[in-house]
Amino acid sequence: MKKQNFKAYLISALLVGLYSCNSNDDLVTDSAAAASQFKVINVTHHDGQPFSTGKSTNSTTGRYVANPGGGVMMQAFYWDVPAGGTWWNTVNTKITAWSNAGIGSIWLPPVSKAQNGPFSMGYDPTDYFDFGNYNQNGTIETRFGSRTELESLITKVHAENMQVYADMVLNHNSGGQLENNPFTGTQTYTNFTAVASGKFPRTSADFYKNAYGNNDEGAFGGFPDLAHVVPNVQDWLWKRADGVGKYYKNTMKFDGWRFDYVKGFAPWVVNDWNANVGGFSVGELWDSNVNILNDWANNANSSVFDFACYYKMNDAFDGNNLNILNDDMMWKRNPYKAVTFVSNHDTDEIWKKELAYAYILTHEGYPTIFYRDYEEWLNKTKMDNLIWIHNNKGTGTTSILYTDTDEYIARRNGYNGNPGLVVYINNSSTWQERWIQTNWANAQIKDFTGNSTWIPTTQGDKWVKIQCPPNGYSIWSINM
């Protein structure tokens, strides 16, 4: 989708107070007294397996390897990345470092030629088969580069044992020629029979209004609205062996899809695509209603971006009320179809991003990292630490142990021998401490972020006191 609500700003570094504990004597006390201040707010009941994109590898080369915590995705672009055909090469230089950091997949912007040629971000597609190798719309290369550079990038991603997802804009087209439209009685820009690739020719019969009806779920930006009920559209998008989906998958070697503006067409479109083409898929359904997100994901047989989580995090962290994190979200309802995120090319509202990333990288779902957050705006060392924790400790179901306006504590319950973790988020200006119940009896634990120097031992009844820095987080697990 086109940019709607993007705020260009530099994120101020969160100040982390320095604190040391001279004695751990106060870590041992009667657990009954501790229980009086402990309360389980909510427990989610899901299959205990970690999220997985289905990829596995036994690589011992230091490249990305499938891990207990599941995948982390990098959104490998932002709105208005530099024009001039350099972006594919820029991303190519990042892949090895991302792989070493534990990133398992990248999401690219729309890769085909669009109406605005060398200046387009790709969301106004003209020729799905022009990857920067045909001279049309005023350019040979796309804004991002040439087909050769794109193929080199995809090859590099796969060499690092990572996956690459294409941004698919299926709702609308742009850049067609004028034709007499018998369905409107006017001339419309719906003639795409002369696209340079010669593939997916389409006319006014393939767009609403047409013989099948006046419209479907939604139009966007005044662009010609593809009618997916038309056999020609279905054939070229996902049924034909040389059609868009199968060409992208089998020839260009994409592993999955991010579907743009899925509010504009029915979920059966994505369901049919997935059944015919395969690969990972996630839909951009811009809605904070969990019921709507979950219904779409089930009907489309696809993952969906967790906008419910996004808006709840914004309200909780920036609105200074962490109790809101008890509310329903897609990752709680259906974690295997929830893709969580803190910001993206369309929307960037959360200011306390470090807390938000600590949240999504310790909880269920498939977390996405935004390019500018990782490469430009936030502390990359802290981000790499959170990715490591997610990959190595973020397993099992989730129990929310404590919340108030300033504090949030949750436990990942572990899976298949992995101990899981406890995450403590503190939105106040002072250090905080809480007694909590872990899943570990008589076990030494530590904060894997290094924000706390405590190394306490849990009691026989699994209780322990932990601490959290101001405006920060700590993440605890067995010291091993």
- Active site amino acids: 260, 284
∠ CA 16-339-104, nearest 5°, is: 80
How many angstroms separate the CA atoms of 287 and 218, rounded? Answer: 14
Tokens 């706390």 belong to which residue? 452
Tell me the β-bridge partners of 420.
none
Task: Please state, in angstroms and rounded to a whole number, the distance separating the CA atoms of residues 332 and 124.
Answer: 34
3-class SS of residue 260? coil
SS3 assignment, position 382: helix
CB 400 within 8 Å of CB 41: yes
Q: Residues 304-310: contacts with CB within 8 Å, 24+ apart?
A: 304/330, 304/337, 304/338, 304/339, 305/339, 305/340, 305/341, 305/368, 306/330, 306/331, 306/338, 306/339, 306/340, 306/341, 306/365, 309/338, 309/340, 309/360, 309/365, 310/340, 310/341, 310/342, 310/347, 310/350
Whether residue 393 contacts residue 418, with contact meaning beta carbons closer than 8 Å, is answered with yes
Q: CB 367: neighbour CB atoms within 10 A?
A: 28
Cβ neighbours, 10 Å, residue 289: 13
Neighbour count for residue 7 (Cβ, 10 Å): 9
Can you read off the two tokens belonging to residue 386? 């959170």
Burial of 462 (0-12, 13-18, 19+ CB in 10 A): middle
Question: What is the DSSP secondary-structure string of 151-163?
Answer: HHHHHHHHHTT-E
Reduced to 3 DSSP states, what percent helix, strand and coil does the chain have, rounded to the nearest 5? 30, 20, 50
| CA–CA gap between residue 412 and residue 358 (Å, rounded) | 13
* Residue 272 annotated as part of some ligand binding site: no
Angle between helices 267-277 and 290-300 (to 10 degrees): 40
Structural tokens at position 409: 């504590």
**140 touches 147 (CB < 8 A):** no
Closest CA to 28 of 467, 435, 472: 435
287 is in an annotated binding site: no
Nearest to 296 by CA among 310, 309, 283: 283
Binding-site residues for Ca(2+), please? 171, 225
Binding-site residues, please? 171, 225
